[in-house]
Amino acid sequence: MAKIIGGLSTSHIPAIGNAISREMFEDEYWKPFFDGYPPAQQWLADVKPDIAVVIYNDHGLNFFLDKLPTFAIGAAPEYTNVDEGWGLEPLPPYPGDPDLSWHIIESVIEDEFDITSCQEMHVDHAFTVPMSLFWPDRAKRPVKTVPVVVNTVQHPLPKPARCLAFGQAIGRAIESYDSDEKVVIIGTGGLSHQLDGTRAGFINKDFDEMCMEKIVDDPEALAKYSIHDIVELAGAQGAELINWIVMRGALTGKVSEVHRNYHIPISNTAAGMMVLENRA
């Protein structure tokens, strides 16, 4: 059966994509952020996953406010990147894995998560920026991908407990997939940030650090919060934390932390990243 070898999480701020294009890795503003990633890149080079299941939120590119699924899963042979308005240079398409996608879709629906299946899907910065951070050669495509989209944009958003359970259902699905391939789960977005309204610029370092602790070995502690608590504590866009919770739910074995980085601010966001290993 396919093996889930670990989970990675990272913020997905669009400005990172521009900084990568301009190779600003040694720039004073960017260095403490980019310096967090080589250990993750090295870990990936060591464990050599075949597939990445990417849990992220679409920002109006593929779904808009008129039609917005709570959970959607891609089942396309490839995923095309289009600029949704941040001026990022579009990257080459990402290969899909329709067989695994359909296996996950069938399994989670059997498990009573009635997701939307997407045989065509465009991917935005929340998918591409993390892929570029973890696999920095943007011309290469070393893994097949399965995009999983969570609504973190328009209320009502799914509650953290439901996201943890959804991740667990994805984990069960992957582990019942007849293949000897190795899979990593990537959760993107967060940590605390709010882009608009009277709390624009809001950041909550204490809450972020607590989340990074709990996500390793007590994700149930995060699942106890209501989604409104998360918005209050992490900011309106900090609700992207639920993508990390889905990722953690899919790690069904013994989880240990390999690496983390936390840096305030990148653009308006507390930028966090983690590498978690999952042992059967």
Residues engaged in binding ligand DHB (CB under 6 A): 12-15, 59, 189, 193, 195, 237, 267-269
Nearer to ligand DHB, 70 or 243 (CB): 243
Q: If DSSP codes are grouped into helix, strand and coil, which group holds residue 6?
A: strand
Rounded distance, CA 188 to CA 134, Å? 12
Rounded distance, CA 136 to CA 270, Å? 21
Catalytic residue list contains 59: no
Position of minimal CB gap to ligand DHB: 267
List 125, 155, 228, 263, catalytic entry: 125
CB of 61 to ligand DHB, least distance (A): 11
CB of 43 to ligand DHB, least distance (A): 24
Tell me the chain's radius of gyration from C-alpha atoms. 17
Rounded distance, CA 17 to CA 25, Å? 12
Q: Which residues pair with 53 in a beta bridge?
A: 146, 185
C-alpha distances in angstroms, 119 versus 26, 73, 210, 245? 40, 9, 38, 25
Nearer to ligand DHB, 107 or 243 (CB): 243
List 59, 193, 228, 263, catalytic entry: 193
Nearer to ligand DHB, 3 or 122 (CB): 122
C-alpha distances in angstroms, 195 versus 90, 127, 155, 236? 23, 19, 16, 8
Catalytic residue list contains 125: yes
CB of 193 to ligand DHB, least distance (A): 5
CB of 48 to ligand DHB, least distance (A): 29
Burial (CB count within 10 angstroms: exposed 0-12, middle 13-18, buried 19+), residue 192: buried
Nearer to ligand DHB, 70 or 188 (CB): 188
Nearer to ligand DHB, 193 or 248 (CB): 193
Residues 6+ away with beta carbon under 8 Å from 38: none
CB of 58 to ligand DHB, least distance (A): 10
Instruction: Residue 57: name the closest of 150, 148, 170, 145 by CA.
Output: 150
- Residues known to be catalytic: 125, 193
